[in-house]
Amino acid sequence: MSGSFLAVAVLGDAAQAAHTGSHLESLVNAVIPKATAAPELAWAGWILLLPVLSAVLCTAFAALRVKNKLPAIVTVVSLGAAFALVLKLYLMRGPEAAPVVVHLWDWMNFSWGGGPWKSFQADVSLYIDSLTLLWMLFVTGLGTLIALYASEYMESDRGAGYCRFFFGVSIFLLAMSALVMADNLVLLYFGWEGVGLASYLLIGYDYHRPAAVEAAKKAFIMNRIGDLGLAVGIWLIWVNYGSVEFATLFQVFTNATSDAGGWDRSLIPFCLMLGAFGKSAQLPLFTWLPDAMEGPTPVSALIHAATMVTAGVYLLARMEPLFVLHPHAMTTVAWVGGLTALLAATIGMAQYDIKRVFAYSTISQLGYMFMGLGVGTAFGAAYHVLTHAFFKALLFLTAGAIMHGFAGQLDLRRLSGLRRVPGFGIVCWTMLIGCLWLSAFPYTAGFFSKDIILVQAMSQPKFQLLGWIGLATAGLTAYYTFRVWFRVCAGPVSFVSGELAHQTDHAQHATTADLHGAPHAHTGTASHSSHANESHAGGFHPHAPRLAINFVLLLLGLGAILSGIPGIQSLRGQHNWVQEMVYASTAVRASGELHTTTPVAFGLDAHGIVSVFGIGAALGGILIAWWLHRLNRRMADRLRSMLLSNSLTRWLPTSMENKWYVDEVYHALFRLPMWIASHLLNFFDRHIVDGLMVNGLGRVPVLIGRLFQPLYNGLLQGYATTMAGGLVLVLAWVAWKWLGAGGAA
């Protein structure tokens, strides 16, 4: 305990020191500088073009039936080159340069007079400021690394599937770069939908499995609901502010003091929020992300953990000048984030699929990011995005390596003691890094970034409850994270190889396993580590990761460790890179850091509370996980069956394992009524609109003809009768009108 008190003391002092005499103070109230045109930076367009190039080449390789690793090489090289360009851009401009706009080519662009409201300008142009660069650095960097990892991971699919996979990755990088670098909302929308498409194509990569197809569809449609919000937001912005270009909009927002001026103007942040919540899997649109784990694991790591899902955070950070104009917008964001974090953590505690646990932890951590934005620390949110990108990508890739090695096995009840299985050392120890970082173990990067957000929440009375929720969630996070690690990596060696039917990224490995003996029965029950391989009943050999996978895991582990540097700097009161980047961007105005010295509770101020309880929650969660899932695994099962046997508590494990029945509720509330309505409308269209009205109208002449038909035989006469009948009727009508008119006169 003395250690944690020491930490409190250090943290408390240092964080206060961070805000003394820092030049950052002057930036807090800065007006966003006006972006200038920078045609000399046109080469930055290659950041978008390089992924296009590799996508085109992958298509060509597919057409040419290339069976080697060429698609992977091309993709890795072009993404690496894109990363190099981003790096060059960053080094040229430094962290605090004024924003620039680089016009590439005209896109949706026309005018009927020029100026606001008299033109519609949405070009393919780049808006480059420090926020853009911060995001681009880790998007392209991680993209390259994960493509490298996938080059080995996907190797059993070489051929058309391999080309398709790397085509999807390239498309994703193109869309994500467009989203982050867009200089207007419509191009951002292009990237927004584009990452949705890439996600759709990659989740449905194993398209012969109906579950994958279903998950892909669900992801796209849920995202589309959010996209609708974004689209409405864009229209409202044009109606209210006359432009969709960031450079113009930020000048307007800077000069505005509130967004008063009609209900539609105050609706804008909430529309954008809907888009962000869809893309970043927050309440109420989070249900697609766990299902997205049907995709190959590198995709889960890249798209559904590190980069794409942070697009919502990016959008809100980018549009922060608009959000701060509305008194309740940021509060809403904070609460949605906090509640999502808690809800997802409770679900994550009760899942058995490793990737699903990590998926729910992603939702939960994204909740923290939104909470950070909402309580007013864009720095905390962006820093958490950065640290999370590293450690979550790392966790997913280790899960992928396990899946790769054990023929698709991901059930944490069926894997144990992997750190003693030869070849899995690096996987297990890098996974430990990821787990420590995710559970916010003291002095890890995850600890720093979470700390900043929670301190910010705690120091404002209206967000204190949210701060406590965040602390409780931190405890849950530590528990479910280490539940995975203690189950899978620690303990006695024992594993069951995966089945073809179960989540197989790698059908081929499972098939080779099948060749050795009866399927589904390769149980390794070695008592001692070094003999694990020889003593398998069925002769199943775990497929240990090779160079590319281990290299990427080590590099990501290193990245995760290094991502703590800004946190340490911040602790020591030095300049830190992330903070500078955020302060020099459009998110500057919401980064007003608050630090109370007044006691919040138990005689401690916000820092003290967050430090004591944060460290306590992390260590407590890890300890409980250690006890239940390492020392005494039977105890965990007994606890579960005890809860299940009691009718009063049965609902708790059942509903947590069933994800609080959110999918079922959505089905009953939306999908089912719509499905019924669609069938009714279809019936209505076929039988009422077409059947009764149209065909009925068509029958009228025939019916009239039928009246007279008995008088005649044959077709011709029938027609003649119809005509005659019609004529008679018309004449009768005319006569009646005439007589009636005459009679009235």
Indicate which single residue of 20, 26, 645, 647 sits in contact with other proteins (rule: CB under 8 A).
20
Minimum CB separation of residue 503 from other proteins in Å reads: 16
Number of separate helices (H) and strands (E) present in the chain: 31, 6
Question: Of how many residues is the chain composed?
Answer: 745
Asked if 273 and 281 count as a contact pair (C-beta separation under 8 A), the reply is no
Binding flag, residue 105, other proteins (CB under 8 A)? yes
Name the residue nearer to other proteins (CB basis): 80 or 229.
Answer: 229
Indicate which single residue of 83, 162, 238, 485 sits in contact with other proteins (rule: CB under 8 A).
238
Name the residue nearer to other proteins (CB basis): 332 or 533.
Answer: 332
**Residues 176-205 close enough to bind other proteins by CB under 8 A:** 186, 189-190, 193-194, 197, 200, 204
CB-based burial label for 734 (10 Å; 0-12, 13-18, 19+)? exposed
Indicate which single residue of 9, 501, 623, 694 sits in contact with other proteins (rule: CB under 8 A).
694
Stretch that binds other proteins, among 15-23, 409-417, 502-510, 517-525 (CB under 8 A): 15-23
Name the residue nearer to other proteins (CB basis): 160 or 500.
Answer: 160
Minimum CB separation of residue 162 from other proteins in Å reads: 13
Stretch that binds other proteins, among 115-123, 134-142, 404-412, 465-473 (CB under 8 A): 115-123
Name the residue nearer to other proteins (CB basis): 241 or 360.
Answer: 241
Binding flag, residue 732, other proteins (CB under 8 A)? no
Name the residue nearer to other proteins (CB basis): 208 or 634.
Answer: 208
Binding flag, residue 71, other proteins (CB under 8 A)? no
Retrieve residue 354's tokens. Answer: 């490793």
CB-based burial label for 745 (10 Å; 0-12, 13-18, 19+)? exposed
Beta bridge partners of 111: 119
Binding flag, residue 590, other proteins (CB under 8 A)? yes
Stretch that binds other proteins, among 107-115, 136-144, 500-508, 730-738 (CB under 8 A): 107-115
Minimum CB separation of residue 457 from other proteins in Å reads: 12
Q: CA angle, corner 382, sides to 380 and 388, nearest 5?
A: 95
Indicate which single residue of 529, 631, 682, 707 sits in contact with other proteins (rule: CB under 8 A).
682
Binding flag, residue 647, other proteins (CB under 8 A)? no
Binding flag, residue 376, other proteins (CB under 8 A)? yes
Asked if 535 and 524 count as a contact pair (C-beta separation under 8 A), the reply is yes
Indicate which single residue of 83, 135, 138, 241 sits in contact with other proteins (rule: CB under 8 A).
241
Asked if 484 and 628 count as a contact pair (C-beta separation under 8 A), the reply is no
Q: Which residues contact 646 (CB under 8 A, 6 or more apart)?
A: none
At 543, phi and psi to the nearest 5? -95, 95
Stretch that binds other proteins, among 131-139, 487-495, 587-595, 616-624 (CB under 8 A): 587-595
Name the residue nearer to other proteins (CB basis): 198 or 305.
Answer: 198
Minimum CB separation of residue 173 from other proteins in Å reads: 14
Stretch that binds other proteins, among 73-81, 228-236, 661-669, 736-744 (CB under 8 A): 228-236
Task: Give whole-number Cα distances, 28 to 329, 380, 582, in Å.
Answer: 20, 14, 10
Taking the mean position of all CA atoms in its chain, how far away is CA 188?
Answer: 16
Q: CA angle, corner 123, sides to 121 and 128, nearest 5?
A: 110
Name the residue nearer to other proteins (CB basis): 41 or 108.
Answer: 108
Beta bridge partners of 184: 245
Retrieve residue 486's tokens. Answer: 């203690």
Beta bridge partners of 122: 108
Taking the mean position of all CA atoms in its chain, how far away is CA 211?
Answer: 19
Residue among 274, 259, 385 at smallest CA distance from 321: 259
Indicate which single residue of 72, 74, 232, 349 sits in contact with other proteins (rule: CB under 8 A).
232
Binding flag, residue 60, other proteins (CB under 8 A)? no
- Return the DSSP state at 103: E
**Residues 22-41 close enough to bind other proteins by CB under 8 A:** 25, 29, 31, 34
Binding flag, residue 592, other proteins (CB under 8 A)? yes
Residue among 259, 498, 257 at smallest CA distance from 399: 498
Asked if 450 and 440 count as a contact pair (C-beta separation under 8 A), the reply is yes
Per DSSP (E only), the strands in 452-514 are 494-496
Binding flag, residue 213, other proteins (CB under 8 A)? yes
Retrieve residue 175's tokens. Answer: 């869309």
Binding flag, residue 10, other proteins (CB under 8 A)? no
Binding flag, residue 567, other proteins (CB under 8 A)? no
Name the residue nearer to other proteins (CB basis): 692 or 732.
Answer: 692
Name the residue nearer to other proteins (CB basis): 13 or 657.
Answer: 13
Stretch that binds other proteins, among 80-88, 221-229, 440-448, 565-573 (CB under 8 A): 221-229
Name the residue nearer to other proteins (CB basis): 287 or 550.
Answer: 287
Retrieve residue 127's tokens. Answer: 């808006």
Task: Give the β-pairing of 523-524 and 494-496.
Answer: antiparallel
Minimum CB separation of residue 117 from other proteins in Å reads: 4
Stretch that binds other proteins, among 99-107, 406-414, 509-517, 551-559 (CB under 8 A): 99-107
C-alpha–C-alpha distance, residues 386 and 307, integer Å: 9
Binding flag, residue 381, other proteins (CB under 8 A)? no
Task: Give the β-pairing of 119-128 and 100-111.
Answer: antiparallel
Taking 3-state DSSP, the helix, strand and coil percentages for the chain, each rounded to the nearest 5, stand at 70, 5, 25
**Residues 451-490 close enough to bind other proteins by CB under 8 A:** 460-461
Binding flag, residue 673, other proteins (CB under 8 A)? no
- Return the DSSP state at 33: P
Binding flag, residue 103, other proteins (CB under 8 A)? no
Minimum CB separation of residue 264 from other proteins in Å reads: 7
Stretch that binds other proteins, among 235-243, 297-305, 383-391, 553-561 (CB under 8 A): 235-243
Binding flag, residue 239, other proteins (CB under 8 A)? yes
Taking the mean position of all CA atoms in its chain, how far away is CA 38?
Answer: 32
Minimum CB separation of residue 19 from other proteins in Å reads: 6
Binding flag, residue 208, other proteins (CB under 8 A)? yes
Binding flag, residue 215, other proteins (CB under 8 A)? no
Binding flag, residue 211, other proteins (CB under 8 A)? no
Coil, strand or helix: which one is 265? Answer: helix
Binding flag, residue 674, other proteins (CB under 8 A)? yes
Retrieve residue 518's tokens. Answer: 């009866």
| Count of beta carbons in the 10 Å neighbourhood of residue 740 | 10
Binding flag, residue 596, other proteins (CB under 8 A)? yes
The residue with tokens 């073009």 is: 49
C-alpha–C-alpha distance, residues 140 and 76, integer Å: 10
b (16+ CB within 10 A) / e for 247-259 = bbbbbbbbebeeb
Binding flag, residue 734, other proteins (CB under 8 A)? no
**Residues 604-633 close enough to bind other proteins by CB under 8 A:** none
Indicate which single residue of 97, 160, 500, 656 sits in contact with other proteins (rule: CB under 8 A).
160
**Residues 243-262 close enough to bind other proteins by CB under 8 A:** 248, 251-252, 254-258, 261-262
Stretch that binds other proteins, among 19-27, 398-406, 426-434, 564-572 (CB under 8 A): 19-27
Asked if the bond preceding 284 is cis, omega within 30° of 0, the reply is: yes
C-alpha–C-alpha distance, residues 70 and 486, integer Å: 39
Coil, strand or helix: which one is 555? Answer: helix
Name the residue nearer to other proteins (CB basis): 67 or 650.
Answer: 67
Cα radius of gyration rounded to whole Å, the chain = 31
**Residues 321-340 close enough to bind other proteins by CB under 8 A:** 323-324, 327, 330
Asked if 301 and 248 count as a contact pair (C-beta separation under 8 A), the reply is no
Binding flag, residue 221, other proteins (CB under 8 A)? yes
Total residues contacting other proteins (rule CB under 8 A)? 91
